[in-house]
Amino acid sequence: MYAQMVKSEATQEDPEKLAAFQARIDAGEKIEPKDWMPVGYRKTLIRQIGQHAHSEIVGQLPEGNWITRAPTLERKAILLAKVQDEAGHGLYLYCAAETLGVTRDELTEMLLDGRMKYSSIFNYPTLTWADMGAVGWLVDGAAIMNQVPLQRTSYGPYSRAMIRICKEESFHQRQGFDIMMKMASGTEAQMRMAQNALDRFWYPALMMFGPSDKDSVHSEQSMRWKIKMNTNDELRQKFVDQTVPQAEYLGLTVPDDKLVWNEEKNGYDFSEPDWNEFFDVIQGNGPCNTDRLAARNKAWDDGAWVREGLMAHATKKSAMKVAAE
């Protein structure tokens, strides 16, 4: 999940209007940008969609790290296409957020100065090529778990962005699994690399779904508004149940001694991630937080002349056109 711990806003508005709004959502209607909506709904969505967009954009960095070092030209082209998709996902989502009355530059500034968050997962480093496999398989896999139900979210532009994104995601997960298959069936050193990547990404991937339901304070209102479709623990369980057999197929070991099939609940019992680590990463103390934000700030600053230059050119051209008329 790319939006973690999204604080939901309380709403104090005309109870009649609120009830009518809730009735529309309960009836499965989509809310569109010009429709009346509670202030809290709008604010929570800006925060959630913005965080999701930032995650797509920052999420390019750990994978971008390997584009120039991909082992073959084909792998390089595939990774490049995957990372380009993530840029697209960021753009779809920023546009959805903008329909709620926030500007792109405001969103960007809030990312760059740390007022808005992005998913904790992207604050972990990608140390070997096998990490490209683990990221596609586990990180995009976890994202899909969350994004598929969000296609039915109540806010029209968000739902449409999710539909586009979901169409593109399974390529991402498959290319990652494909890398893992190659590594896991390769030399002993490759196998070790694959296992090591799984060891490092397993718990951070579980953290993507956000804190345990018992500590998740913001869920209820968001679920009523259908901007959150499942609880964190539901999605995490689903992810584990789907992923463990895939790890077995690869001949890899999930780094969890307590992992065991539970016949009764028809799912795995598993260890929770270290939540202290999670909160620490969210607070900005993960292994790569500083690097990631520095990279985004540098890109923004280095790109200023391009943004300004193109705008100046466009203004000049339209002035000339007006003069010629």
Partner 1 sequence: MTQQRNEWPLWEIFIRGQHGMSHRHVGSLHAADSETAILNARDVYTRRNEGVSIWVVQAQQITASSPSDKGPLYEPSEAKVYRHPSFFDIPKEVGAM
Q: Does 9 bind Fe ion (CB under 5 A)?
A: no
- DSSP label of 269: E
Q: Comparing C-alpha atoms, which of 139, 133, 142, 141 is closest to residue 184? A: 133
Whole-number minimum distance, CB 6 to Fe ion, in Å? 17
Q: Does 317 bind partner 1 (CB under 8 A)?
A: yes
Binding partner selected for residue 160 from Fe ion, partner 1, none, CB under the kind-specific 5 to 8 Å limit: partner 1
In the chain, where does DSSP find H-type helix? 15-26, 39-58, 60-64, 73-98, 104-112, 130-134, 141-150, 156-184, 188-207, 219-224, 232-250, 275-280, 289-302, 304-324
Q: Which stretch binds partner 1 (CB under 8 A): 127-135, 213-221, 269-277, 308-316?
A: 308-316
Q: Which is nearer to partner 1, 32 or 213 (CB)?
A: 32
Q: Which is nearer to partner 1, 82 or 117 (CB)?
A: 82
Site string for partner 1, 25-54 (x = CB under 8 A): -------x-xxx------------------
Whole-number minimum distance, CB 186 to partner 1, in Å? 30
Dmax over CA atoms of the chain, in Å, equals 78
State how far the alpha carbon of 105 is from the alpha carbons of 54, 94, 109, 111, 151, in Å: 12, 10, 6, 10, 26
- Main-chain dihedrals φ then ψ at residue 72, nearest 5 degrees: -135, 165
- DSSP label of 135: I
Per-residue H/E/C for 72-134: CHHHHHHHHHHHHHHHHHHHHHHHHHHCCCCCHHHHHHHHHCCCCCCCHHHHCCCCCCHHHHH
Site string for Fe ion, 54-73 (x = CB under 5 A): --x-----------------
Q: Does 161 bind partner 1 (CB under 8 A)?
A: yes
Q: Does 172 bind Fe ion (CB under 5 A)?
A: yes
Binding partner selected for residue 23 from partner 1, Fe ion, none, CB under the kind-specific 5 to 8 Å limit: none
Out of 17, 152, 265, 307, point to the residue binding partner 1 (CB under 8 A): 307
Site string for Fe ion, 85-124 (x = CB under 5 A): -x--x-----------------------------------
Dist. CA 57–CA 165, nearest whole Å: 13
Q: Does 91 bind partner 1 (CB under 8 A)?
A: yes
| Residues contributing to the site for partner 1 (CB under 8 A) | 32, 34-36, 81, 84-85, 88, 91-92, 95, 98, 103-106, 109, 160-161, 164, 168, 307-308, 310-311, 313-314, 317-318
